[in-house]
A and B are shown apart, each in its own frame.
Chain A
Amino acid sequence: MKSLSEIDTVSKRASRASGFDWGVAEEVGKNIRMLEMLGLAGIKNLNYYYRIREKKNFEKISLIDKENKITQLEYCPIIAGVSFLDQVRSLENLNEITFKNIAYPILFLPFISRASEVLGRKIFLKIDNRNFLLNYNNSIYSNSLNNGIITIGNNIVIKFLENIDSFEENEWKELYKLSEKTFVEESESLKQSGAGAGLTDND
């Protein structure tokens, strides 16, 4: 089995050899390492993308908009990802961003995951019928366990989610009430002696 360190180094070097700047290649190394650690097909997708990249041109988007579509070429997932990650603080206000035709979108995914960490917000990513919930770059929840190669994402939607609870207030209250059963009712003497601080402010 390859170590993550080997995966990082080889992906970085291969990215440089494929024509990316060193700083971008460094990003790819970290991303593929992350994908493989989470059990997603980073190496496979990268390998196939670099193979096809030798023969085919891809659109290098530098400024991301609310809607990003081109008619002729597919977007390079790496340049689109780097641009998204770099610009995410200003993109956050757009709430939802769409792309048409990103090649090998699994390679785009880790950039979005890292953007979630940068913003401290969960991000929902939809690649055609595959949904991914990106949790601050700590974990990824998905309905797609397909570990193969995805050559293109035709419709990609990115939504910045509000940091809200996943439960109702009454559910919280019910659980809280149960948790209160671990507390001790304070008698007068416990009130006097149990706390470390004084009984009045500024005493």
Chain B
Amino acid sequence: MKVKLREPDTVMKLSKLGSFHQSKLSFLRSFLKEFKDWEYKRDLFELNEFGHGIAVYSFKKDDRVYSLICFANELNEDERSDRVIATKWDAAFTLHDGVPTSKDIERLKNEVPKQEVGRLSYKELTLSRANKSVRIFNHVVESLSEGRQPDISLLSSVGYLYRTTAVYGSGKFGLADRFRIKDRKEIYGPFRLEMMLVYLVRQFTFDQVNHVAKNKNPKKAVKLDPEICRNLGIGNSTGLGMAPFIVNHPTLLNNWVLARETVLKKIREIKQVEKKDSDLFKEYLKRSIKNITSWNTESEYQQKKIKSLLRDLNNFIRFIDKEIIFSNDFAFNEIYLWLEKNSGDECIEYIVSMMMEPYDQIVNPLINKMSSEEDQYFNIPTNRTVQELKKILEDRYKKILKIDFSKNENNQNFWFISKNKEEPRLANRFEEKGSELEQPLAIARDIHKLYEVLEVSKNSSTIDKFLSKNNNLRHVVRRAFIVEKFPYSEIQDNTICKSIVPIDMLRLKLSFFGALKFDPRSDKWLRICMFQGAPLPEQLKSYDDSWVYNSLN
């Protein structure tokens, strides 16, 4: 039986994309899988009694070394902020290509803590900063220094000691351009080096908390139990900065979603599901529930989603326990069709992720296909005709073409870059100034405009002639020819309408990162947790890919 890929105009709706969950394809899982055999080392750890100073961690294999350089600083309480407008952080980090010399460290000491206003070099690959979860960090220090382990339920309620507030790569602030390193096999999957930075930062937070506790009470202090460490991740606060990324990298977005859709299709096409696979699916599914029951958020929006997810999952578990017979042909297809009828998007996408768990042989070959070289698809095929372009729009933007942009509600917002932080923002065009400086992120509206102009253009005319009169639509002409080849490259929604929920765009990207416990703090930013439950660097040699479901929380 052949199953069709799901239609892009369903999958690429923001409400659907905003319901994606981590999976075997997620970057932090594929990073760990790739680097599990690398040699891990803590090369330098020079912190004072308060935990301020410099530390270096590395991963090494053959001649290749990646080093995380950490700068932990003193920070006054009133200076600590997760917002992007902050200028100081508890710690700042960079991932260095190779072994840093003392000269490198000296240079970076002056630049890394400054983050966006510092200058990095081609020798640095990623840049980040993080703030303590003060309540948790202090509690852990207190407990350890008194010779006891911290309160696990308190730790579980947060899930981390530190949260990062940005992770930069690919040429930002002078960092190495991707083209310099893209041919390295170990980083074929997307965001590998960003994941490495976050993973090593997690280890730094454990080492730092142990160090501070030990200095506080050298005689009595104990180390944080490795099992507790394993169940802590790294938090992350993410704002709108991430949203335009998925619009500005259409072929990359396509490759992420296409990998997911291809895996689903192949699993649905399995005629006979082997018992070991169905058992593993059921086991992981049941074990994963605690990742949902321990998912804390004050966001009503997310609470509703979690509630409906739990309700749907309970129904689903009843269904697979009582009704589905895995020995039937195409059992996973039956499961998927049942989900479409009986569950909401959160649950459907949750199960789609879970279905991947038994199938390394389907998932693994796709992991390295999730990167993309956007530049290869940049040139517009100007020898094509107006008629062909019109047809692409009619096929690929069906729902977008039905939106009525004469209504204010469909035009309400505009995306802009803030002057003070050079970061993307969203504002109401009818209430705020600046819409004349709008970024080209209103793709639905501009595609609509393009279609209107194409309708009154001569069908046989070639695109070069069309563009000679309509260069104002050039950016969407380019996109249309990209979406023709890459069906999942476009969000099939209006990103400037009144009802847009920008965190859906963030959630899409973060789910591919492998984040858990999305905690929206507004409709424009959220907190997440990464690597919770992941093996510690010392445990990587006995790596178990199901670690995501081993969390104690």
Contact = CB atoms under 8 A, between A and B. Distances in A.
Interface in B475-499: 475-478
A24 interface: yes
A115 to B, nearest CB: 10
Interface in A85-103: 85-87, 89-90
B87 interface: no
Nearest to B476: A23
A89 B474 contact: no
Contacts of B304: none
Interface residues of B, number: 33
A118 interface: yes
Contacts of A68: none
Contact of B474 (A6, A21, A87): A21
Interface string B425-450: 00000000000000010000000000
Contact of B471 (A63, A82, A117): A82
B174 A62 contact: no
Contact of B177 (A5, A23, A62, A86): A5
Given A22-B475, A86-B382, A1 B122 contact: yes
Contact of B440 (A22, A62, A82): A22
Given A30-B378, A83-B468, A86-B464, A1 B174 contact: yes
Nearest to A20: B471
Contacts of B467: 82, 86
Contact of B171 (A5, A26, A87): A5
A114 interface: yes
Contacts of B367: none
Contact of A63 (B378, B468, B472, B474): B468
Contact of B174 (A6, A22, A27, A114): A6
A89 B175 contact: no
Interface-central residue, A22, A27, A62, A87, by most chain B CB under 10 Å: A22
A3 B174 contact: yes
Interface in A68-84: 82-83
Contacts of A3: 122, 171-172, 174-177
Contacts of A13: 417
A1 B475 contact: no
B473 interface: yes
Interface string B156-186: 0000000000000011111111110000000
A191 interface: no
B174 A2 contact: yes
A118 B379 CA distance: 8
B94 to A, nearest CB: 14
Interface string B107-128: 0000000000000011000000
Contacts of B469: 62
Contacts, number: 73
B65 interface: no
B78 interface: no
A89 B465 CA distance: 12
A26 B179 contact: no
A4 interface: yes
A2 B468 CA distance: 33
Contacts of A114: 379
Contacts of A21: 471-472, 474-475
Interface string B413-432: 00001000000000000000
A89 B382 contact: yes
B520 to A, nearest CB: 29
A26 B475 contact: yes
Nearest to B178: A5
A86 B478 CA distance: 12
Contacts of B417: 13
A130 to B, nearest CB: 26
Contacts of A87: 382, 464, 468
B403 to A, nearest CB: 20
B363 interface: no
A165 to B, nearest CB: 27
A4 B177 contact: yes
A63 B173 CA distance: 40
B380 interface: yes
Contacts of A4: 171, 177, 179
A107 to B, nearest CB: 16
A22 B121 CA distance: 29
Interface string A1-19: 1111110000001000000
B372 to A, nearest CB: 15
B375 interface: yes
Contacts of B209: none
Given A3-B122, A4-B171, 8 more contacts: A3-B171, A3-B176, A23-B478, A62-B468, A63-B468, A82-B471, A83-B468, A118-B379
28 contacts: A2-B174, A3-B172, A3-B177, A4-B171, A4-B177, A5-B178, A6-B173, A6-B174, A13-B417, A21-B471, A21-B475, A23-B440, A24-B471, A26-B474, A27-B474, A30-B378, A62-B469, A83-B468, A85-B379, A86-B464, A86-B467, A87-B382, A87-B464, A87-B468, A89-B383, A89-B464, A114-B379, A118-B379
- 5 nearest A-B pairs in the assembled complex, by CB-CB distance: A23-B474, A5-B171, A3-B171, A23-B475, A86-B464
Interface of B: 121-122, 170-179, 375, 378-380, 382-383, 417, 440, 463-464, 467-469, 471-478
